[in-house]
Structure 1
């Protein structure tokens, strides 16, 4: 299973969307985790469709900052176990492996003191 994680720093710019679409086309990930989308679900879903993914889980940004998105391709089964502004905790399975894998996607400050505020 291939995974792409990217701090996109906003999906509102055409160049960012083009680069993301190119990366997805080249690497063919099964899952894409985006941090700092800075966009509401409607915009993120439009970009998801352009990149060829079928399903998503979106955490809307707070104001003009943050925002998370998890996209997955057909044949991947993702169950969201917990979600917050910094975390998406999942169980992931597919047709190729019957036992689910647990994956936690985290976007948090690098400074330990700042993480306590999340």
Structure 2
């Protein structure tokens, strides 16, 4: 049985030549069936033909507001069916169906840097968790880290309660971290020396099913 192959990519801009070149190279190696692109910085209308040529002929879209945010789910209809059930600026929920597989639910997350808006996101995720009866994958950029080892910074301005609150939210949703390989930190402010901060903001969580 073939595995379903998907990529969740916080690309920090989808309209440039580097993104397009890198995506083509990834597709040559991995034959993706589902692609989730976040922090796109451009409207999907400017990219639709490009994705169609790559075989991603169906999509569910939340465009960025200005150059902030954006979640695009694209898929190859020859191999998989994706049915969106709720669409918002911080999360898209969709049921994934592939022949010979049990249906499961994907939550593609791009959490706001605003703490109050993130609270709204987690309130909605907890509501979904209370009624979830299928395998559930919650993945993307959570704009939060789970412990101090997931943050490297010379700044003394660190909130010790922030990771604890994040873990409490994960636990309330009965989610487990799938772990990762490669670089531990997934985000940097790109500053040099003592001004540099790195954090693990991206992760994949799943329920028991």
TM-score interval for Structure 1 and Structure 2 normalised by the shorter chain? 0.7 to 0.9
Distance 1:115 1:45, change over 3 A: same
Identify which of structures 1 and 2 has the higher relative contact order when contacts are C-alpha pairs closer than 8 Å and 6+ apart: 1
Give the paired residue count.
Answer: 117
Q: For residues 70 and 114 of structure 2, what CA distance do their matches in structure 1 show?
A: 19
TM-score of the superposed pair, with normalisation by structure 2: 0.51
- Indicate the residue corresponding to 2:98 in structure 1: 94
Q: For residues 64 and 105 of structure 1, what CA distance do their matches in structure 2 show?
A: 19
Asked if structure 2 preserves the Cα contact closer than 8 Å seen for 1:92 and 1:101, the reply is yes
Q: For residues 14 and 59 of structure 2, what CA distance do their matches in structure 1 show?
A: 15
Match of 1:108 among 107, 111, 119: 111
Q: For residues 53 and 90 of structure 2, what CA distance do their matches in structure 1 show?
A: 25
SS at match of 2:47: helix
- Indicate the residue corresponding to 1:77 in structure 2: 81
Structure 2, unpaired ranges of 5+ = 122-209
Counterparts of residues 1-118 of structure 1 (less than 5 Å): 1-73=4-76, 74-97=78-101, 99-109=102-112, 115-116=118-119
Distance 1:114 1:57, change over 3 A: closer
TM-score of the superposed pair, with normalisation by structure 1: 0.86
Shift in Å, 1:75: 2.5
Shift in Å, 1:46: 2.5
Q: For residues 18 and 117 of structure 1, what CA distance do their matches in structure 2 show?
A: 36
Shift in Å, 1:72: 0.8
Cα RMSD for the two superposed structures: 2.0
